[in-house]
C-alpha cells in the first residue's frame, strides 16, 4: 500500500491560472516519468436512462479548449453521447501519485480535424477503422479477419480515406480537478470551475 509521500505540497499559488496549461504540465511530468500511456483516460458516458458506462480512450491533444479523442461514431459510447452529450474523464498517473478529473459537454470534432489526424495514423490502424464496427457482436475472429482482408484489397497500395463513421470528439471541461497523493491520506485536491471566460479555483477536502 503506497504511503503517498512523493509529492511536495500542491497549493493554489503553485498551479497555473489556466487549468489546461496545468494539465499539460502534469501530462509532461507523466511522460517524463516513463508512463507507457500517459494519455490514457477513463471516459464515462451515460445512456438515456442515466446508466453509466466507462472505458479507456487515448487523449490526443487540446482543440479550442476541449480534450480530444478519436473513435467509431457507431459504437456504444457514441450512441450514448448522441442522447446524452456530456462526459467525464479521469487520468491516473501512478508513478506520480496524481489524478486529474474532467467533466463537461462533448461534441464531435470538425471533419477536417478528424481527417488530418486520421492521415497521421499507421496504415494498419486506418484499415482497421474501416473493417471494424465498434461494439457490434461478431460471430468470430475469422469474420473480422475476412473483412480486414477485403478492405486491404480495396485500398491496395493507395491512400486510405477517413471512414464516414469514424472521427473525434472534444470534451470541454466545466470542472477540472487536480489530485495528488500526500502522506497520511491527507491528499491535495484543487478544483477549477469555469465561470464565463475565467476559472474559479478551490481546494477540496481529501
Ligand atoms: C489503453 C487503451 C487505449 C484505448 N484507446 C482507445 C481510443 O483512443 N479510442 C477508442 O475508440 N477505443 C480505445 N480503446 C478501446 C476502448 O476502451 C473500448 O473498448 C472501445 O472504445 C469501445 O467502447 P464502447 O463500446 O463503449 O464504445 C482503448 C483501450 C485501451 C485499453
Secondary structure (DSSP) of the chain = ------PPP--TTTS-SSHHHHHHHHHHHHHHTT-S-TTEEEEEEE-TT--EEEEEEE---EETTEEEEEEETTSHHHHHHHHS-EEEEEEEEGGGTEEEEEEEEEEEPPHHHHHHHHHHS-HHHHHHHHH--TT---S-HHHHHHHHHHHHHHHTTSPPPPPTTEEEEEE--SEEEEEE--GGG--EEEEEEEETTEEEEEE---
Query: Does residue 26 register a pLDDT over 90?
Result: yes
The count of other CB atoms within 10 Å of the CB of residue 4 is 16
What's the CA-to-centroid distance between 74 and ligand 1, angstroms?
Answer: 13
Residue 13 has pLDDT above 90, yes or no: yes
Distance of CA 26 from the midpoint of ligand 1 (Å): 22
pLDDT tens digit sequence for 108-117: 999 999 999 9
Tens digit of each residue's pLDDT (9 = 90 or more) over 67-103: 999 999 999 999 999 999 999 999 999 999 999 999 9
Predicted confidence (pLDDT) at residue 183 exceeds the cutoff of 80:
yes
The answer to whether the beta carbons of residues 96 and 33 sit under 8 Å apart is yes
The predicted pLDDT at position 6 comes to 82
Ligand 1: nearest atom to the Cα of 69: 8
Of 8, 28, 26, nearest to 16 (Cα)? 26
Separation between Cα atoms, residue 36 and residue 183, nearest integer Å: 26
Question: Is beta strand 175-180 parallel, antiparallel or unpaired with respect to 98-108?
Answer: antiparallel
Topology classification of domain 19-121+164-203:
Pnp Oxidase; Chain A (2.30.110)
Distance CA 90, CA 134 (A): 22
135 band by pLDDT with thresholds 50, 70 and 90: very high
| pLDDT value at 2 more than 90 | no
Span 8-13, mean pLDDT?
91
Q: How far is CA 148 from CA 17, 124, 140, in A?
A: 47, 10, 13
pLDDT at 185: 87
Mean pLDDT for the chain overall: 96
Which ligand 1 atom sits closest to the C-alpha of 58? 8
The rounded Å distance from CA 134 to ligand 1 centre is: 9
How far, in Å, CA of 74 to CA of 179, rounded? Answer: 34
Q: Candidates 47, 56, 87: which one to mutate for ligand 1, based on the most atoms within 8 Å of Cβ?
A: 56
Q: How confident is the model at residue 1 (pLDDT cuts 50, 70, 90)?
A: low
CA distance 71 to 41: 13
Model confidence at 8, pLDDT cuts 50, 70, 90, reads confident
185 catalytically annotated: yes
Quickly count: other Cβ atoms within 10 Å of residue 53's Cβ: 12
Percent pLDDT > 70 in the chain is 100
Span from the CA of 56 to the centroid of ligand 1 (angstroms): 5
Nearest to 166 by CA among 87, 111, 121, 85: 111
Mean pLDDT of 20-43: 98
Substitution site in 30, 38, 51, 57 for ligand 1 pocket (most atoms within 8 Å of beta carbon)? 57
Does pLDDT of 52 surpass 90?
yes
Amino acid at each position: 500500500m503506497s504511503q503517498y509521500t512523493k509529492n511536495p505540497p500542491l497549493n493554489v499559488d503553485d498551479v497555473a491560472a489556466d487549468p489546461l496549461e496545468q494539465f499539460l504540465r502534469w501530462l509532461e511530468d507523466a511522460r517524463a516519468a516513463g508512463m507507457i500511456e500517459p494519455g490514457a483516460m477513463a471516459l464515462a458516458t451515460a445512456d438515456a436512462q442515466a446508466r453509466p458506462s466507462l472505458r479507456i480512450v487515448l487523449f490526443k491533444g487540446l482543440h479550442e479548449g476541449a480534450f480530444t479523442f478519436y473513435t467509431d461514431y457507431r459504437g456504444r459510447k457514441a450512441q450514448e453521447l448522441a442522447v446524452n452529450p456530456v462526459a467525464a474523464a479521469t487520468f491516473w498517473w501512478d508513478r506520480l501519485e496524481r489524478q486529474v478529473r474532467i467533466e463537461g459537454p462533448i461534441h464531435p470534432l470538425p471533419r477536417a480535424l478528424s481527417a488530418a489526424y486520421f492521415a497521421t495514423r499507421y496504415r494498419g490502424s486506418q484499415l482497421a477503422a474501416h473493417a471494424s464496427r465498434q461494439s457490434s457482436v461478431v460471430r468470430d475472429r475469422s469474420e473480422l479477419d475476412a473483412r480486414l482482408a477485403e478492405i486491404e484489397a480495396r485500398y491496395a497500395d493507395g491512400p486510405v480515406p477517413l471512414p464516414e463513421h469514424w472521427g473525434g470528439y472534444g470534451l470541454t471541461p466545466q470542472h477540472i480537478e487536480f489530485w495528488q497523493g500526500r502522506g497520511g491520506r491527507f491528499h491535495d485536491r484543487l478544483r477549477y470551475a469555469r465561470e464565463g471566460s475565467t476559472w474559479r479555483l478551490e481546494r477540496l477536502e481529501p
